[in-house]
């Protein structure tokens, strides 16, 4: 019986890995984030429509994390992993204490409502990976 547990665990883990690869992070964004974090808008649009927005545009969120999270040894893979962990944590535990959002923007938008219980583990992983990879080479302007 004891020997069966690791085998069982291994099969459960491998199923989880397959599922994570199948989840489309962009779709998770469109279904769960886009209603607040707009896509395909520029700074001019944001300035003109600031009062109508519910949250910073998604590209700006991504850029902010990339520019703000700095690690000492300049290893891109480590930085990516840390950023993914931060995003997954933040969407379930948003907080004024460690939001990186501009204070003026927080005055307008408030803090993000928690999505605890809304997304499955593989959906959180996929959307966090998408968020960090999609805007790797783009700058919100
Ligand atoms: C109901 C509106 C709403 C939804 C839905 C929403 N967010 Fe947010 N989010 C906000 C607001 C408002 C902020 C800015 C204030 C803050 O940092 O909490 C924010 C901030 C963030 C931040 C932190 C940015 C920073 O600089 O600190 C991340 C990361 C984020 N959202 C990711 C997501 C992801 C990923 C989803 C979908 C899975 C999502 N959000 C869905 C409203 C929303």
pLDDT in tens, 95-129: 999 999 989 889 999 999 999 999 999 999 999 99
CA–centroid distance, residue 24 to ligand 1 (Å): 19
Length of the chain: 141
Q: What share of the chain is helix, strand, coil (3-state, %, to 5)?
A: 60, 0, 40
The minimum-distance atom of ligand 1 relative to the CA of 94 is 18
Q: Are 24 and 132 in contact (CB under 8 A)?
A: no
6: Cβ contacts below 8 Å, ≥ 6 apart: none
Q: How confident is the model over 77-91, as a mean pLDDT?
A: 98
Q: For residue 51, what pLDDT band results from cuts at 50, 70 and 90?
A: confident
Domain boundary assignment for the chain: 4-134
Nearest to 90 by CA among 101, 79, 80: 101
Number of the ligand 1 atom closest to the C-alpha atom of 118 = 38
- Nearest alpha-carbon partner for 37 in 85, 98, 90, 77: 90
Question: For residues 12 and 24, which has the higher predicted lDDT (pLDDT)?
Answer: 24
Residue closest via CA to ligand 1's atom 11 equals 112
**Which atom of ligand 1 has the smallest separation from the CA of 113?**
1
Token pair listed for 128: 């966090």
Q: Is 81 helix (H, G, I), strand (E, B) or coil?
A: helix
Nearest CA owner, ligand 1 atom 15:
111
Q: Token digits for 115? A: 């999505």
């Amino acid at each position: 019986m004891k020997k069966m547990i690791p085998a069982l665990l291994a099969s459960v883990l491998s199923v989880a890995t397959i599922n994570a690869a199948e989840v489309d992070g962009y779709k998770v964004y469109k279904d769960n984030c886009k209603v607040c974090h707009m896509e395909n808008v520029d700074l001019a649009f944001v300035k003109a429509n600031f009062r109508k927005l519910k949250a910073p545009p998604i590209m700006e969120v991504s850029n902010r994390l990339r520019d703000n999270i700095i690690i000492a040894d300049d290893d891109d893979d480590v930085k990516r992993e840390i950023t993914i962990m931060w995003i997954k944590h933040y969407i379930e535990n948003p907080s004024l204490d460690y939001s990186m959002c501009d204070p003026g923007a927080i005055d307008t938008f408030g803090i993000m409502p928690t999505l605890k219980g809304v997304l499955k583990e593989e959906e959180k992983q996929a959307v966090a990976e998408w968020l960090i990879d999609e805007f790797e080479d783009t700058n919100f302007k």
